[in-house]
């Protein structure tokens, strides 16, 4: 019994420490922080905590009925995703999966935490959209500044292809929950975007 407890404690401690990802690499801050063109929008995903650091979280996007990868997000990192204005559906998770609906305007930058929660064997991850009212808060700005910019490395596409069957299953489960529980939906609206990037 004592041995079991020690092993469990070791797993928990490992999950609370930061851990880099072999799928991501440092990004040029000047590019990541740049203002999107008027015909483009940007959303920044970030993990402003070291909790669950040994577990990678991922972000995918549903496009025309198919999943496309966005990034693998490590603890203490942020990722800038440039896309088109309009409605987008993103999914994050690890052991779990969750959807977020984002409707963006051109030239604006949007923000969403990837936040860990306690899971059975792994950390679970959920979206925490940053609303218009929260953009000016010191807590949000400090959390964002604490994270370092990352971009996709050469192995992300291979990881995505290898995990696509599992991700498709997770998307089906998350979509079912999204449809059945409208009061719990994570949403970013057009007005939640910042016309001037915050970093």
Task: Encode pLDDT of 70-92 as tens digits.
Answer: 999 999 999 999 999 999 999 99
| Full domain range(s) for residue 9 | 2-192
Inside any domain, residue 28: yes
What per-residue confidence (pLDDT) applies to 109?
98
Q: How many domains does the chain have?
A: 1
Q: Are 99 and 182 in contact (CB under 8 A)?
A: no
| CATH number of the domain where residue 81 is located | 2.60.40.1120
Inside any domain, residue 13: yes
Inside any domain, residue 139: yes
Inside any domain, residue 128: yes
Inside any domain, residue 198: no
Inside any domain, residue 197: no
User: Which residues of the chain carry a pLDDT beneath 50?
Assistant: 1-19
Inside any domain, residue 199: no
Give exposure, 97-130, as e/b (b: 16+ Cβ within 10 Å).
bbbbbbbbbebbbbbbbbbbeebeebbbbbbebb
Inside any domain, residue 147: yes
């Amino acid at each position: 019994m004592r041995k079991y407890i020690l092993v469990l404690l070791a797993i928990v401690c490992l999950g609370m420490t930061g851990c880099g990802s072999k799928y991501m690499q440092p990004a040029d801050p000047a590019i990541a922080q740049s203002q999107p063109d008027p015909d483009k929008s940007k959303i920044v995903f970030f993990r402003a905590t070291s909790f669950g650091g040994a577990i990678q979280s991922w972000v995918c996007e549903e496009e025309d009925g198919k999943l496309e990868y966005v990034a693998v997000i490590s603890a203490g990192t942020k990722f800038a995703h440039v896309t088109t204005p309009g409605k987008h559906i993103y999914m994050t998770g690890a052991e779990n999966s969750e959807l977020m609906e984002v409707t963006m305007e051109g030239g604006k930058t949007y923000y969403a935490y990837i936040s860990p929660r306690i899971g059975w064997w792994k950390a679970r991850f959920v979206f925490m959209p940053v609303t218009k009212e929260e953009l000016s808060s010191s807590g949000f700005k400090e959390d964002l500044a604490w994270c370092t910019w990352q971009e996709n490395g050469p192995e992300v596409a291979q990881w995505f292809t290898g995990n696509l069957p599992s991700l498709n299953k997770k998307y089906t489960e998350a979509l079912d929950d999204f449809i059945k529980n409208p009061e719990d939906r994570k949403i970013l609206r057009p007005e939640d975007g910042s016309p001037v990037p915050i970093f």
